[in-house]
Structure 1
Amino acid sequence: MKKKKTPSAPLLGLQSPCSLAQRKPELLIPEQHVIQLCRGLRSSSFESERGRELETSSLYKRRRRARALKLNKRARQRAATPSEELNHSWFDIFRSTMETEKRTQKSAEQTVTRDLSEQIKEVTKESHVRAENTELMLSFQRGQVTLPQYKLLLCSLYEIYRALEEEMDRNSNHPAVAPIYFPAELARIKSIEKDLEYFYGPDWREKIVVPVATQRYSHRLRQIGKENPEFLVAHAYTRYLGDLSGGQVLGRIAQKSMGLKSGEGLSFFAFPGVSSPNLFKQLYRSRMNSVELTAEERNGVLEEAVRAFEFNIQVFDGLQKMLSVAGNQQRQSSTDSKAVHGKTLQILGTFSPMLRMVLGLFVALAAVVGLYAL
């Protein structure tokens, strides 16, 4: 009794190449072509122009290869036109493989530690935008900064940089601080003192006024200098590279807005020790990225970077409030002065008839006394 022939499985793409090679070798032609097609698509997505071109030329290539073999008509037809399930099975396998690779790559990127400078840039992106949109910074960007604004800003910068640089000096040998310690190139305190003396005179220290937010910022810098010196990395990066990046532009804006000549009062924006800001920033980031931190310390630095931006935003808002209060007081004083002047004139106008009568009496009395003397 002859054994019934078992029909071949409909999904040829799911059969092993060895099985196909033994039973129907001509079917390896479309199978191999689909594999090569998938390999070609690895470098271009299915939606791309290249992907569509590969799919379009698929049928032509299969037929050309089938004609090159010595096959009968039916075998040639099957080799040139494989089942739809074959294509779908291989493309499904390809898609699944690519998705798995993407997930693995994404997971690896999240696992591998990125550069600290890039992480700080990422976590402070939103805070950076908010800082740029404070009223004080918008005045700089619009070229409308006033002398009172700039003078008050210098006062706050003096207190902030004095705290930062004193703590950087004190912790200059700390493993996290030493790589980014560039006092000759970046120190700002001497430049700010020079500007304050230009605007306020020799006794400028007695005239400094800062908002409460500036005092809080300075206190925080001194606190971490004693307790967590590695957090100084976040504040130094935020302040120094921020001032170095926008210093020249903001300096020109301030000079033009306030009508200052020959850079007097603008020493804060000048970095004579840095010949190329871009190259120096690359060096600084490289040094900062080389700092060895534990996972806990790194997270603490990132949180401190966000806090540094928040402190700066609070300082800018505090300075603007001080300017608003001073402006309101000045306007109120001017209004009161005008009111007092008006009342004085009104009083004089009210008593003018009486004054004329008194003068008349004095004249009459003088005449009587004169007659009596005669």
Structure 2
Amino acid sequence: MQDQVQNTFCDDLKQKTKTNHEESDRIVNWKLAVALTDMTLYGGVLADFYYVFKTIEDCLGQLVQHPVICPLAKVIVDLHRAEAFEKDLSFFLGPNWMGRVEPSLPAKEYCDRILAISENSPVLLIAYVHSMYLAILGGGKALKKVIQKTLGLVGNEGLAAYEVSDSEETCLRLGNELIDCINHLPLNAEEKERILDEKRRVFVMNNAIANNVKPTAKSFFRIIKIGLVILTAFSIIGAAIYAYNLCDLSLEKNHG
């Protein structure tokens, strides 16, 4: 009889937050469908998540000497998204967007939370990296296609945030490297439980940004006309499932 393979920490992060993840998918899919009815409305949502990613990356950049998460701070450099978000925001909101677009209240509270834990409990940043960057790596290409088709975009302008690499193999490799890095960080049991709790909080804060999106009369009628909710929901759910399957692929590679 073969010994049972023990779950990795990333397995636990996936499995023990599954319900939170599914609930968040429903909320975010619906609200993204609303946002995608108008370029300016979508640009506002994109700006909120830009501030989130920028704050994560800035905080990790200051922790390259941290005794526990320094490997993660170094690995994440190859996955930085802030500059790509800036390009997309210039496309949707104009070249001077940074001087006039502030984060919404939910996004500001999100960023304030990241700043606080970076100062007081940096290991909790693992929850943010695991949630946000694996989602981009696993589901970015599918999400890019939804946005491109729905907004009628030609070429890749406005889509840089979701394109880590043209190669699916490269995205898979980067995802596995990130998972492997997290799994090998020297975390104790208490820290792992706190990271799990923080990951649940990440979903709540993502939901808060999504729920802040309010449809206009124009967007409401467009949703009805093109059935965008159904298209977006199924596409992004599939992308999210693929992102989480990266954990399983990593396990197979390590134990194959």
TM-score by length of 2: 0.76
Q: Please, which runs of 5 or more residues in structure 2 have no aligned partner?
A: 221-256
Once the 2 structures are TM-superposed, how far is the Cα of residue 211 of structure 1 from its aligned partner? Answer: 2.4
How far apart are the structure 2 equivalents of 1:300 and 1:248?
A: 31
The equivalent residue for 1:249 is 142
Confirm or deny that 1:208 pairs with 2:101: yes
Q: 1:217 to 1:146 in 2, by over 3 A?
A: same
Confirm or deny that 1:114 pairs with 2:18: no
Q: Percent identity?
A: 24
Once the 2 structures are TM-superposed, how far is the Cα of residue 138 of structure 1 from its aligned partner? Answer: 3.1
How far apart are the structure 1 equivalents of 2:175 and 2:88?
A: 25
Number of residue pairs matched by the alignment: 217
Q: 1:233 to 1:156 in 2, by over 3 A?
A: same
Amino acid at match of 2:163: A
How far apart are the structure 2 equivalents of 1:151 and 1:118?
A: 34
Once the 2 structures are TM-superposed, how far is the Cα of residue 131 of structure 1 from its aligned partner? Answer: 1.2
How far apart are the structure 2 equivalents of 1:330 and 1:128?
A: 26
Q: 1:113 to 1:297 in 2, by over 3 A?
A: farther
The equivalent residue for 2:30 is 138
C-alpha contact (below 8 Å) 1:185/1:272 kept by paired residues: no
Once the 2 structures are TM-superposed, how far is the Cα of residue 198 of structure 1 from its aligned partner? Answer: 1.6
Confirm or deny that 1:199 pairs with 2:95: no
Written as runs of structure 1 = structure 2, the 5 A alignment for 1:1-374 is 114-134=7-27, 136-138=28-30, 145-181=37-73, 182-272=75-165, 276-318=170-212, 320=213, 323-324=214-215, 327=216
Once the 2 structures are TM-superposed, how far is the Cα of residue 330 of structure 1 from its aligned partner? Answer: 11
The equivalent residue for 1:6 is none
3-state secondary structure, aligned to 1:276:
helix
How far apart are the structure 2 equivalents of 1:171 and 1:206?
A: 28
**Greater alpha carbon shift after TM alignment, 125-134 vs 271-280:** 271-280
3-state secondary structure, aligned to 2:64:
coil
How far apart are the structure 2 equivalents of 1:197 and 1:286?
A: 35
- How big is the alpha-carbon RMSD for the aligned residues of Structure 1 and Structure 2? 2.8
Once the 2 structures are TM-superposed, how far is the Cα of residue 177 of structure 1 from its aligned partner? Answer: 2.1
C-alpha contact (below 8 Å) 2:110/2:205 kept by paired residues: yes
The equivalent residue for 1:22 is none
Amino acid at match of 1:186: L
C-alpha contact (below 8 Å) 1:197/1:204 kept by paired residues: yes
C-alpha contact (below 8 Å) 2:53/2:82 kept by paired residues: yes
C-alpha contact (below 8 Å) 1:188/1:268 kept by paired residues: yes
Q: 1:304 to 1:113 in 2, by over 3 A?
A: farther
The equivalent residue for 2:254 is none
Once the 2 structures are TM-superposed, how far is the Cα of residue 173 of structure 1 from its aligned partner? Answer: 2.3
How far apart are the structure 2 equivalents of 1:304 and 1:116?
A: 14
Amino acid at match of 1:256: K
3-state secondary structure, aligned to 2:67:
coil
How far apart are the structure 2 equivalents of 1:167 and 1:300?
A: 19
Once the 2 structures are TM-superposed, how far is the Cα of residue 207 of structure 1 from its aligned partner? Answer: 2.8
Tell me which of the two structures has the higher relative contact order, counting C-alpha pairs closer than 8 angstroms and 6 or more residues apart: 2
Once the 2 structures are TM-superposed, how far is the Cα of residue 296 of structure 1 from its aligned partner? Answer: 1.4
3-state secondary structure, aligned to 2:172:
helix
